[in-house]
Amino acid sequence: MARNPLYLALLAPLVHYAKAAPQAGNAAQITYADGVVVPATPPVRTGMPVSHGPFTGVATMTGALTAPTVLGTAITGRPPSSAATTYPSDGNLHDPMLIPYAPGGGLGTNGTAPVYNVKSDFDYQSLALALYVEWFEMDLFRYGLSQFSQAEFAAVGLTPEDLYLIQFMAEQEIGHATLISNILGPSAPKQCNYNYPFTTVSEFLDFSQKIARIGESSVYGFLPHLDSRAAASLLLQSIAVEARQQVIFRQFMGLFPMPVWFEVGVPQSWAWTLLAPYISSCPADQTRLAWQNFPALTIVNQPNPVLTNGSMAFNQTISPGTNTLNSTGIPSNQSCVNATTPLADCKAAISSNRTIPLSAAGREVSLTWDLPGKQVGPENSYITTSQAGPAKFVAWVTQLNITYSPLTGLTGGGGGGGGNMTGGGNATNTTGTMSGKTIQPDLSTFMGDPAINGTIFIAITDSNPYLTPFNLSLINPHVVAGPALYQAG
Ligand SMILES: *[C@@H]1O[C@H](CO)[C@@H](O)[C@H](O)[C@H]1NC(C)=O
Ligand SMILES: *[C@@H]1O[C@H](CO)[C@@H](O)[C@H](O)[C@H]1NC(C)=O
Ligand SMILES: *[C@@H]1O[C@H](CO)[C@@H](O)[C@H](O)[C@H]1NC(C)=O
Ligand SMILES: *[C@@H]1O[C@H](CO)[C@@H](O)[C@H](O)[C@H]1NC(C)=O
Ligand SMILES: *[C@@H]1O[C@H](CO)[C@@H](O)[C@H](O)[C@H]1NC(C)=O
Ligand SMILES: *[C@@H]1O[C@H](CO)[C@@H](O)[C@H](O)[C@H]1NC(C)=O
Ligand SMILES: *[C@@H]1O[C@H](CO)[C@@H](O)[C@H](O)[C@H]1NC(C)=O
Ligand SMILES: *[C@@H]1O[C@H](CO)[C@@H](O)[C@H](O)[C@H]1NC(C)=O
Ligand SMILES: *[C@@H]1O[C@H](CO)[C@@H](O)[C@H](O)[C@H]1NC(C)=O
Ligand SMILES: *[C@@H]1O[C@H](CO)[C@@H](O)[C@H](O)[C@H]1NC(C)=O
Ligand SMILES: *[C@@H]1O[C@H](CO)[C@@H](O)[C@H](O)[C@H]1NC(C)=O
Ligand SMILES: *[C@@H]1O[C@H](CO)[C@@H](O)[C@H](O)[C@H]1NC(C)=O
């Protein structure tokens, strides 16, 4: 505990506030001129200047961090324990109260002082991943601001006041990176060098919107599984801000800010797969991650939000995985940026109706994906892998639902059988590209809320296991390629 600065940093202000709290009747005695001054925790610094562009060296080590003992290849689904349904959910109290107004139960509610540290490999690796994302976003928002002129931002409807909001979002990331670094301690991952795919303001906004979706959704995926409830409570408070950032980038693109009733959570390896390709290198002593990098998935007809009819886009992305829009060379009569009718335009706005939705149920979606075995991530030192058999389904992971649509029209390099390293697939031919098609499904979370909307996750799988938000990570051994971010709305 002594080497965990956060524990002390958090307690210190509480002590000061307790002393400073005005007592009933003596509020008039408080003088604000020389009021309470509580020194703040300095932000974490890695002391490394960030550079941009691809990595050109050679990896000195490869592969994800792995434990000396690995006990199996898949986690078996099993029924819930009989105790899972024994609490009678009838509105009556069934247990003694510790004190008045404090119903029995809950975790961390009995007075034991919280310790804001990690309590397992799962916790460490999850928070370390979140820290990679926070560092990434801090640099991304600053870099985007530095790359484009005020006139270029003004062309999509962003004012200098909007640009200050982007700057402030970068500052929020300083706080988030400091928080997670303090929780992890001295081995916390440091800031890296990055290789962004965007060259225009619209591409920067779309990339940021998608990176924020990845950061937010990966935390929702692991937060309820953390051993450390105390660390989870702090991370929750930072991810609540991340969620607002995602909405703001959508508004900056003239997208409807939140076209869903629930935000989706995804496994850590999905976030790492999507983020790693944009990290070119990290400091020499960087803490490595244990998560998987799956083969990249490209949405050939990814809907493009800068088109008046976004779903007519074909091959208009600047990279696989995030499938960020390409805004270069779009004819002005197809662009919605300068459209003159309000329902067709996509300038920055608090809320926007699109006359033509970006996608709809029944849309044919064309996909291509890599075979495993590519070098990706910092120093190209992680290797894409898949444990899955032949590609058969597309998993649509949205809101509360995991749905599968059949994959058809399979063609492909390396001899076919994508991801099947033992059979038809040829895992050693990493230049081979697989392709297939599917149809965007039609389903709702609850009546009145179509599940597929906003920025969602899809992946190629070898089967269609029944999964729900709390056990979605069981999908990983079935992932052939992906995830990709599908711009459904
Ligand atoms: C208080 O609750 C924690 C779990 O939240 C438990 O580990 C601890 O044993 C409890 N302490 C007491 C005194 O009941
Ligand atoms: C939008 O583009 C799609 C794909 O090209 C096409 O099927 C659809 O009819 C278009 N919608 C409108 C309203 O033009
Ligand atoms: C997509 O566009 C890129 C770059 O313009 C080009 O190299 C590639 O061949 C195109 N792919 C398809 C399937 O049209
Ligand atoms: C974006 O589109 C333009 C015009 O079609 C093309 O020249 C360029 O190569 C594309 N960019 C990428 C990264 O594919
Ligand atoms: C939209 O209009 C602005 C201002 O006239 C111009 O700078 C920009 O290039 C236009 N964008 C498109 C996609 O036509
Ligand atoms: C845009 O203009 C081109 C050339 O004038 C034309 O061929 C095309 O049909 C137009 N597209 C739309 C969506 O109006
Ligand atoms: C915006 O879209 C909603 C849902 O389709 C519709 O009910 C509403 O009338 C639209 N508003 C405007 C101003 O077009
Ligand atoms: C997504 O939500 C927006 C806003 O409510 C709506 O206009 C659009 O039709 C929806 N798209 C789909 C695919 O349901
Ligand atoms: C791989 O493909 C071969 C031939 O299609 C099949 O026999 C084998 O069961 C597959 N392996 C897995 C793990 O799915
Ligand atoms: C790998 O697969 C690609 C795509 O099918 C094919 O063009 C290429 O010849 C294959 N390479 C080797 C070495 O087999
Ligand atoms: C797989 O591809 C490699 C080269 O890409 C080739 O040398 C090897 O013979 C192929 N193996 C099979 C089983 O096709
Ligand atoms: C989507 O999730 C909701 C909430 O769990 C559930 O009620 C609904 O049945 C699911 N829909 C489908 C098609 O799986």
Chain segment 357-396, per-residue pLDDT in tens: 999 999 999 999 999 999 999 999 999 999 999 999 999 9
Enter the tokens of residue 342. 């309000």
Q: How many CB atoms are located within 10 Å of the residue 145 CB?
A: 16
pLDDT band at 486 (very low <50, low <70, confident <90, very high): very high
Tell me, using a 6 A CB cutoff, whether residue 267 lines ligand 10: no
Q: Which long-range contacts (CB under 8 A, 24 or more apart) does 308-317 make?
A: 308/334, 308/335, 308/336, 308/339, 308/344, 308/356, 309/334, 309/356, 310/354, 310/356, 310/357, 310/358, 310/359, 310/487, 311/356, 311/357, 311/358, 311/359, 311/360, 311/363
- Establish if 109 belongs to a structural domain: no
One-character DSSP codes across 273-323: HHHGGGEEE--TTPPP----BPPPEEETT---TTBTTGGG--S-BSSTTT-
Residue 418: is its pLDDT beyond 50? no
What residues make up the domain containing 204? 121-487
pLDDT band at 48 (very low <50, low <70, confident <90, very high): confident
User: What is the rounded distance in angstroms from the CA atom of residue 173 to the CA atom of residue 78?
Assistant: 39
In this predicted model, what pLDDT tens digit does every residue of 221-255 receive, in sequence order? 999 999 999 999 999 999 999 999 999 999 999 99
Question: If you search the block for the tokens 């850590």, which residue do you land on?
Answer: 268
Residue 32's pLDDT is what? 59
Residue 29: is its pLDDT beyond 90? no
Tell me the chain's radius of gyration from C-alpha atoms. 24
Phi, psi of 170, deg, nearest 5: -65, -40
SS3 breakdown of the chain: % helix, strand, coil, rounded to 5? 35, 15, 55
CA of 136 from ligand 8 middle (Å) equals 30
Closest CA to 475 of 487, 485, 488, 466: 466
Residue 417: is its pLDDT beyond 80? no
Residue 137's pLDDT is what? 98
Q: Confirm if 372 and 397 have CB atoms less than 8 A apart.
A: no
Q: Confirm if 282 and 193 have CB atoms less than 8 A apart.
A: yes
In this predicted model, what pLDDT tens digit does every residue of 133-188 receive, in sequence order? 999 999 999 999 999 999 999 999 999 999 999 999 999 999 999 999 999 999 99
CA of 425 from ligand 11 middle (Å) equals 9
CA of 296 from ligand 1 middle (Å) equals 45
DSSP 458: E
* Total of domains in the chain: 1
pLDDT band at 36 (very low <50, low <70, confident <90, very high): confident
- Which is it for strands 433-439 and 364-370: parallel, antiparallel or unpaired? antiparallel
User: What is the rounded distance in angstroms from the CA atom of residue 100 to the CA atom of residue 168?
Assistant: 43
* CA-closest residue to ligand 6 atom 14: 333
pLDDT band at 25 (very low <50, low <70, confident <90, very high): very low
Mean pLDDT over residues 6-13, rounded? Answer: 40
Average pLDDT, the chain: 90
Residue 196: is its pLDDT beyond 50? yes
Closest CA to 457 of 246, 265, 225, 219: 265
Closest CA to 482 of 316, 369, 333, 374: 369
What H or E segment, with its residue span, contains residue 360? none
Mean pLDDT over residues 127-138, rounded? Answer: 98
Residue 416's pLDDT is what? 36
- Establish if 18 belongs to a structural domain: no
- Establish if 16 belongs to a structural domain: no
DSSP 182: H
Residue 431's pLDDT is what? 62
Residue 181's pLDDT is what? 97
Mean pLDDT over residues 100-113, rounded? Answer: 96
Q: Which atom of ligand 8 is nearest to the CA of 361?
A: 13
Closest CA to 485 of 464, 446, 457, 465: 457
Residue 150's pLDDT is what? 98
CA of 362 from ligand 2 middle (Å) equals 13
Q: Which atom of ligand 5 is nearest to the CA of 337?
A: 13
DSSP 186: T
Residue 15's pLDDT is what? 29
Which range (224-233, 328-337, 447-456) has the least confidence?
328-337
CA of 392 from ligand 8 middle (Å) equals 28
- Establish if 430 belongs to a structural domain: yes
In this predicted model, what pLDDT tens digit does every residue of 146-157 receive, in sequence order? 999 999 999 999
DSSP 29: G
Tell me, using a 6 A CB cutoff, whether residue 318 lines ligand 5: no
- Establish if 62 belongs to a structural domain: no
Question: If you search the block for the tokens 């689904």, which residue do you land on?
Answer: 77
| pLDDT > 70 in the chain, percent | 89
Residue 195: is its pLDDT beyond 50? yes
Q: Which atom of ligand 10 is nearest to the CA of 413?
A: 5
Residue 429's pLDDT is what? 52
* CA-closest residue to ligand 9 atom 12: 389
Phi, psi of 147, deg, nearest 5: -90, -20
Which range (97-111, 245-259, 368-382, 410-424) has the least confidence?
410-424
Mean pLDDT over residues 188-209, rounded? Answer: 98
Q: Confirm if 486 and 323 have CB atoms less than 8 A apart.
A: yes
Beta bridge partners of 6: none
pLDDT band at 94 (very low <50, low <70, confident <90, very high): very high
Which amino acid is it at 207?
F
Mean pLDDT over residues 390-403, rounded? Answer: 97
Cα 261 to chain center, whole Å?
Answer: 18
Q: Which atom of ligand 6 is nearest to the CA of 309?
A: 13
In this predicted model, what pLDDT tens digit does every residue of 251-309 receive, in sequence order? 999 999 999 999 999 999 999 999 999 999 999 999 999 999 999 999 999 999 999 99
Using alpha carbons only, what angle is made at residue 98 by residues 93 and 100, rounded to the nearest 5 degrees? 75
Residue 24's pLDDT is what? 44
Beta bridge partners of 12: none
Enter the tokens of residue 340. 């003159």
User: What is the rounded distance in angstroms from the CA atom of residue 314 to the CA atom of residue 403?
Assistant: 25
User: What is the rounded distance in angstroms from the CA atom of residue 245 to the CA atom of residue 173?
Assistant: 11
Q: How many CB atoms are located within 10 Å of the residue 257 CB?
A: 15
Q: How many CB atoms are located within 10 Å of the residue 470 CB?
A: 10
Instruction: Tell me the best of 152, 201, 338 to mutate to test the pocket of ligand 5, counting ligand atoms within 8 Å of each CB and taking the most.
Output: 338
